[in-house]
Amino acid sequence: MKAMLLKRCADISEHPLALEEVERPTPGHGQVLIEVSVCGVCHTDLHTVEGELTPTELPRIIGHQIVGRVAETGEDVEGWKVGDRIGVPWLASSCGRCRHCLGGNENLCERARFTGLHVDGGYAEFTVAEAAYGTPLPSEFDDAHAAPLLCAGIIGFRSLRLSGYRKGKTLALFGFGASAHIALQLAVADGSRVAVYSRSESHRRLARELGASWCGESGEQPPFPVECAVTFAPVGSIVADALAILDRGGTVAINAVHMSAIPELAYEALYHERTIRSVANATRRDAAEFFEAAARAGLRTEVTEFGLEQANEVLERLKRSEVQGAAVLRVG
């Protein structure tokens, strides 16, 4: 099968992913073999390629927003049969026995494994996944438009929750990539007012089209108080920008698996019970509840398709914030 292999971590400008023929994997106990249709491209893929996240071994096939069909099942697989459409998200598996797993927080499991980092992902014609961690996908979304939902959508949904957002609360989103444009639509469907911050005029234009109440750049004040905020860019200084416009008692949720240092903050910026919290991965429950909400909201994903062999170029464009909405690799 064809796959884009990461043999060494390097700056994406060096094009470290190589298209090669590799052996097709075989599903083990509790696993399914998936013929990949599409795989979304995520900032986490970029962090992996450039070594900010360290794969457990190389070479590695990255990619964790996988949509495909079950091609073969291993022993003792329940709930899936050959031909079923399946989604594979970031969380590949968890131990199921630790205090975090037993407490409903499998995303915090210390033995968790992640797709495209600890196990091979979807930048390939076939991949293997744990059947219990596969995600059913609503028929409302075709393959290309479902792919970004498997990370950008699910983690955006969790970020909203952790920011304290609920229907009717005012919200600010900092950065307007794949995850933010999905989170925006969920809040707009609730009738909430949303401020979107982005340096890109094209991104601000898309945000307005999707229902943002106000758009601007960091340093500007929206015309309404902001009760909760989510930052999506891996830039620590944006956390300070979010705190600067946050109302008393509000929370800034940081949606980033890797980011630069948060600058020193004056205590006054945090005073009046403002909160900063990170968002770490997502659970299977998050995935199920998100897809229900997405189908109800008639959520629309902005997608640009590329070929598998273009993965290096797509990640370069992502690094330069030149992708409108979400990028998807068409594999099969």
Q: 215 with 326, same domain?
A: no
Q: For residues 301 and 10, which has the higher predicted lDDT (pLDDT)?
A: 10
**Among residues of the chain, what percentage have pLDDT more than 70?**
100
**Residue 181 belongs to a domain with what CATH number?**
3.40.50.720
Which domain range does residue 166 map to? 153-278
Q: What gap in Å lies between CA 163 and CA 63, rounded to an integer?
A: 27
Residues 6+ apart with CB under 8 A from 171: 160, 163, 165, 187, 192, 193, 194, 195, 226, 227, 228, 229, 230
Are 20 and 123 in contact, with CB atoms under 8 Å apart?
Answer: no
Q: 185 with 270, same domain?
A: yes
Q: What gap in Å lies between CA 117 and CA 109, rounded to an integer?
A: 15
Q: What is the pLDDT of residue 233?
A: 87
What is the arithmetic mean of pLDDT over 279-292? 95
Q: 158 with 222, same domain?
A: yes
Q: 9 with 139, same domain?
A: yes
In this predicted model, what pLDDT tens digit does every residue of 231-276 receive, in sequence order?
998 899 999 999 999 999 999 999 988 889 999 999 999 999 999 9
- Is the per-residue pLDDT at 205 higher than 80? yes
Residue 322: pLDDT band by 50, 70, 90 thresholds?
Answer: confident
Q: What is the pLDDT of residue 323?
A: 85
Chain mean pLDDT for the chain:
95
Which 3 state secondary structure label does DSSP give 170? coil
Q: How many domains does the chain have?
A: 2
pTM beyond 0.85: the answer is: yes
What is the arithmetic mean of pLDDT over 92-100? 97
Residue position matching structure tokens 């073999």: 33
Q: 313 with 236, same domain?
A: no
In this predicted model, what pLDDT tens digit does every residue of 36-84 receive, in sequence order?
999 999 999 999 999 999 898 999 999 999 999 999 999 999 999 999 9
**Residue 42 belongs to a domain with what CATH number?**
3.90.180.10
Q: 125 with 13, same domain?
A: yes
Q: What is the pLDDT of residue 178?
A: 83
Q: 168 with 240, same domain?
A: yes
Beta bridge partners of 35: 69, 126
Q: What is the pLDDT of residue 258?
A: 85
> How far is CA 31 from its chain centroid?
23
CB neighbours of residue 75 within 10 Å:
9
Q: What is the pLDDT of residue 211?
A: 95
Q: 241 with 142, same domain?
A: no
Tokens of 28: 């083990």
- Is the per-residue pLDDT at 218 higher than 80? yes
